[in-house]
Structure 1
């Protein structure tokens, strides 16, 4: 028997409809909910009569909305059975959005990607972008530094945070990872040195190694950054770069205090080490707290990277570099050796979104609820795991009672959960007593994932301990 989603649940998910034709707004809302998985594929939608009563809308409005779903490929009707959700191109097409190697089926839950689904504002932003596109079609369409309207929106965001920024200090890129690659390509010297946090975002290490840089780790412990230890490392090796994630650090969720930023900025300037500062999570403060000033407010030589992948949607592929003016020519030249710019439509949509604010309040509300649910689930089903509840960001960094994260990832895969173990985040391959758990999936998926992970962990425990004791932690994570 086909699963049915209730009219009451649809009403809760849809929320308030945007201005404009009601049937079109309802159809757009349902398309978004189906596309990001909050309304599952293949379920039967409420009857037109039931949804009409639940939403307080006319039957005609519901009929037209369902017709729009069918016309766009997001639903199909079966005579006598009802209307069922679908995606354009067929059922398997939906799994393009799931980053699972080998092609996962519908029962897989992917916790390898700490990125959220798109909020409703993204669809409206694309519609606005398309309406603005004709003004650009009479030109060649290449903007290597970025579309001026988007540069202005990004610069305004920094100014609002107390860091005056001119639009021409912004170089738009296809995401923060590309931004990091451009900076390293422009400024690295062969056989140079780079300071990198441990744990850290794994793709950063690959970029630095590809530039033939020797990596030096700055371990984070339960209290975050050891500024004195970093200062000693910088003094000894005088690295060319220090790659930092000071805002809801990936994967630990730690936030560098203003005092620490000031101290570290002074250390780096003294040794002429260029800070590359990844701020992709800075707007994701989930408890309404004020964030410290940007790192560049304490170190004018810092190069700052930003992105909309975590705050809005990874499919936008919009990132940027905020750089000191003397570096801009080198950065643009390096960027043009890779590509000639981000698509104009995406930049117009991004500018529209940023003018509304750094992140949607509804997105923050949803992420907060998912974070709280994940904290409760891990506490209930895995009570011997330890973590510090983050005040923002997108993930929990969990310490296991003993080493075994890599084995757990394999066991979880046998239960159709994709899990990333600690060694992936270690530049040197350690941290096998840690796992990262993003809260970017709906609560129902998080619940199922944690239950499967807990069962896999119990099976590992019953098969014999992988390590008899918890690794020692003398001011650093191993």
Structure 2
């Protein structure tokens, strides 16, 4: 049975301005195929009935039937008796999603580093430590005491007094985001989110029943040709503090989800002055602020000093709280599914009470590994800084050589570059790159309603050889994307968000 059903109206919104030079049935099939490949229509979703979609799009039913037939023949749709047309991915695409002997499909949809070199030794030590915990049942809702203390110590080292009782360990940062959203949002509440932003966070907030209220984040950029390995700093932090204050006052959101350090995907960092203004505005309205710090440790060469977000609040009685979300997955390894929430004790108690609805415990062995590694974070982060600097400089150099008219951010940390490609063809470019061995997320994956077609997120976490292969694939796909663009929104509206 399908996991979800997409209404005709919902699909119409996702399709955007899909009509182009091709026959309508072909253009419709191509757009739905890209939506599935990009993850905006999840695998296992039941598509609208042919008659309903034809009515909604003012097409003949024959046209929609032909489009669905093309999708079935290409392996993107299954016809299931009693369930209609259900989306899937064809076998060859799934098989190519993993590199094979260095010559398979490159997956640049993941901006992630390989494991830290100290992880194998920590894993061996954790395995030796595990028998000490085996007499217990093993269901751990809160987190191992010594891991919570190690996490609290990291916050203290960064200038934010924290006790273990203010820490809740989770199965990765994604569970932490979903848990906070489910606990503190009700159906119909408004939630302020940045645009662009981490797409799985907005999915969690929507699933909690909230309505999204977007505020724009931009990254200072220059042409790829002008961007040397050490560009001069650019004024502005990427956030419009005036607009955020006005939005909070007007929309009165119950919650605000922010990525203040090395923002995903723009790489921007919120200035101390903007942090103070945002927290003051949130406090005045009683808005809970989530600070997602999953990329916060990944500093390359950011000038200035940045404290954890709560340090910029007035700390007055009755102020709206700030909830921090952290993760071991970005700095240590994606295979370590350990995240955490840092908040005041009353909020932690609420979250602990809500957690069993979806999870009965965080993996013990992974907690032990992370507890071993956190005390050595400084040396691990030096290793990461070296890797990310090399990746950033490689991306800048290759883009300058291959796409001199593209713009790259003044990137001082994080995992990816939010690259301006100069034309609203990101989705077409991402689709075309698949034909040349590269999986990469189109700009609209990070936005709402088809915005950000002029941007592409390019990870800085891969080797020089892999990055060269990726840029070569983009180069081969570029000309075709300009000739046959597939924008998700009217290009005239995109200038407002660039």
> If the length of structure 1 is used for normalisation, what is the TM-score?
0.75
Describe the SS at the equivalent of 1:221: coil
User: Which residue of 206, 209, 212 corresponds with 1:212?
Assistant: 209
Describe the SS at the equivalent of 2:217: strand
User: Which residue of 174, 192, 195 corresponds with 2:192?
Assistant: 195
Partner of 2:179: 182
Equivalent pair of 2:177/2:201 in contact (CA under 8 Å) = yes
User: Which residue of 435, 446, 449 corresponds with 1:414?
Assistant: 435
Partner of 1:318: 338
Equivalent pair of 1:176/1:319 in contact (CA under 8 Å) = yes
Distance of 2:487 and 2:249 partners within structure 1:
38
Partner of 1:260: 274
Equivalent pair of 2:265/2:418 in contact (CA under 8 Å) = yes
Are the structure 2 counterparts of residues 212 and 141 from structure 1 closer, same or farther at C-alpha, using a change threshold of 3 Å?
A: same
- What's the CA shift for 1:448? 0.9
- What's the CA shift for 1:464? 8.1
- What's the CA shift for 1:460? 2.8
Describe the SS at the equivalent of 1:314: coil
Describe the SS at the equivalent of 1:217: strand
Distance of 1:386 and 1:408 partners within structure 2:
16
Distance of 1:463 and 1:375 partners within structure 2:
27
Distance of 1:464 and 1:150 partners within structure 2:
50
Which 10-residue stretch deviates more, 281-290 or 197-206? 281-290
Equivalent pair of 1:421/1:435 in contact (CA under 8 Å) = yes
Structure 2: which 5+ residue stretches go unaligned? Answer: 1-92, 220-235, 316-320
Equivalent pair of 2:451/2:494 in contact (CA under 8 Å) = no
Are the structure 2 counterparts of residues 174 and 444 from structure 1 closer, same or farther at C-alpha, using a change threshold of 3 Å?
A: same
User: Which residue of 475, 488, 494 corresponds with 1:454?
Assistant: 475
Superposed, 1:12-411 pairs within 5 Å as 101-104=94-97, 106=100, 107-222=104-219, 223=236, 224-287=238-301, 289-299=303-313, 301-357=321-377, 359-411=380-432
- What's the CA shift for 1:142? 2.1
Distance of 2:186 and 2:494 partners within structure 1:
34
Partner of 2:47: none
Distance of 1:466 and 1:271 partners within structure 2:
38
User: Which residue of 428, 435, 445 corresponds with 1:424?
Assistant: 445
Equivalent pair of 1:202/1:427 in contact (CA under 8 Å) = no
- What's the CA shift for 1:195? 0.3
Equivalent pair of 2:424/2:485 in contact (CA under 8 Å) = no
Equivalent pair of 1:246/1:278 in contact (CA under 8 Å) = yes
> If the length of structure 2 is used for normalisation, what is the TM-score?
0.73
CA distances 1:190-219 after superposition (whole Å, capped 9, x unpaired): 211100000000011111111110101011
Are the structure 2 counterparts of residues 340 and 410 from structure 1 closer, same or farther at C-alpha, using a change threshold of 3 Å?
A: same
User: Which residue of 437, 440, 444 corresponds with 2:465?
Assistant: 444
Describe the SS at the equivalent of 2:113: coil
Are the structure 2 counterparts of residues 459 and 141 from structure 1 closer, same or farther at C-alpha, using a change threshold of 3 Å?
A: same
- What's the CA shift for 1:101? 4.1
Are the structure 2 counterparts of residues 150 and 464 from structure 1 closer, same or farther at C-alpha, using a change threshold of 3 Å?
A: closer
Distance of 2:485 and 2:173 partners within structure 1:
42
Are the structure 2 counterparts of residues 364 and 123 from structure 1 closer, same or farther at C-alpha, using a change threshold of 3 Å?
A: same
Partner of 1:62: none
Equivalent pair of 2:197/2:264 in contact (CA under 8 Å) = yes
Distance of 1:364 and 1:167 partners within structure 2:
28
Distance of 1:248 and 1:363 partners within structure 2:
14
**RCO comparison, higher one (Cα < 8 Å, 6+):** 2
Are the structure 2 counterparts of residues 158 and 379 from structure 1 closer, same or farther at C-alpha, using a change threshold of 3 Å?
A: same
Which 10-residue stretch deviates more, 212-221 or 240-249? 212-221
Distance of 2:94 and 2:306 partners within structure 1:
38
- What's the CA shift for 1:459? 3.2
- What's the CA shift for 1:454? 1.4
- What's the CA shift for 1:470? 8.2
Equivalent pair of 2:425/2:485 in contact (CA under 8 Å) = no
CA distances 1:399-457 after superposition (whole Å, capped 9, x unpaired): 11110000000110110100111111003321111110001111100011101101211
